[in-house]
Amino acid sequence: MSLSASPLDVSPVIPVVVIDDPAHAVALARALVAGGVAIIEVTLRTPRALDAVAAIAADVPEIALGVGSVLTAAHVDRALAAGADFLVSPGASPALLERLVAAPVPVLPGVATVSEVLTALDHGLTELKFFPAGPAGGPAYLAAIGGPVPQVRFCPTGGVTAGNLRDYLAVPGVAAVGGTWLTPKSLIEAEDWAGITALAAAAVAAA
């Protein structure tokens, strides 16, 4: 679907998914929607990730479809061609930022320092991924980064779990959290879609 709002306003939790087999993509997306999570970020970390994106775009139009691990301008082009509704990067080079701001969809470039936040603000971007959230310093560090830039909305990912998501959501400026805990590889490979629906519902309830 085309997003009428920010991806940070769709759900308080954003599943970051690694899909090896595109045949799993549609059932996985539907399982998340059934659990109340109408958003997904498919990472470009597997060879057939874009096939998974195209399948979800075709068959699950009710989900907000993000493409993550976007590292280059070429990735932006391929993600958009596959049907991405929004784009996520773990960090941002100057060239990638230029391409992201020109994209016709919302973008969440990754930052981990105040200087990186300021660079994103220079490009007019006020919605950012905070990555890698846990190793970078967790909720306390993010609260410190966000202090001087109250106009920024963050989505922390990297080490977020069901056990700590509320600590992140309590940080001013945090609009949503993301992570892979919602879609474990073991459940995907077992095609345990009910299990993923349960994890999604539990995450929304905990948020």
What is the token pair recorded at 142? 């993010």
For residue 206, give the 3-state DSSP assignment.
Answer: helix
Q: Quote the least distance from Cβ 110 to ligand 3PG, whole Å.
A: 8
- Dmax (CA) for the chain in angstroms is 45
For residue 35, give the 3-state DSSP assignment.
Answer: coil
Task: Return the residues of window 49-78 that contact ligand 3PG according to CB under 6 A.
Answer: 68
Q: Pick the binder of ligand 3PG from 112, 130, 178, 193 (CB under 6 A).
A: 178
Tell me: does residue 35 bind ligand 3PG (CB under 6 A). no
76-84, 157-165, 187-195, 198-206 -> range binding ligand 3PG (CB under 6 A):
157-165
Interaction pattern, residues 5-34, with ligand 3PG; x per rule: CB under 6 A? -----------x------------------
In the residue annotation, 98 being an active-site residue is answered as no
Tell me: does residue 160 bind ligand 3PG (CB under 6 A). yes
Cα angle 56-57-62, degrees, rounded to a multiple of 5: 85
Give the β-pairing of 107-108 and 86-88.
parallel
Cα distance between residue 55 and residue 29, in whole Å: 10
In the residue annotation, 189 being an active-site residue is answered as no
- Report yes or no: 55 and 24 within 8 Å, Cβ to Cβ: no
Binding positions for ligand 3PG, rule: CB under 6 A? 16, 43, 68, 90, 131, 157-160, 178-181
Active site residues: 41, 129
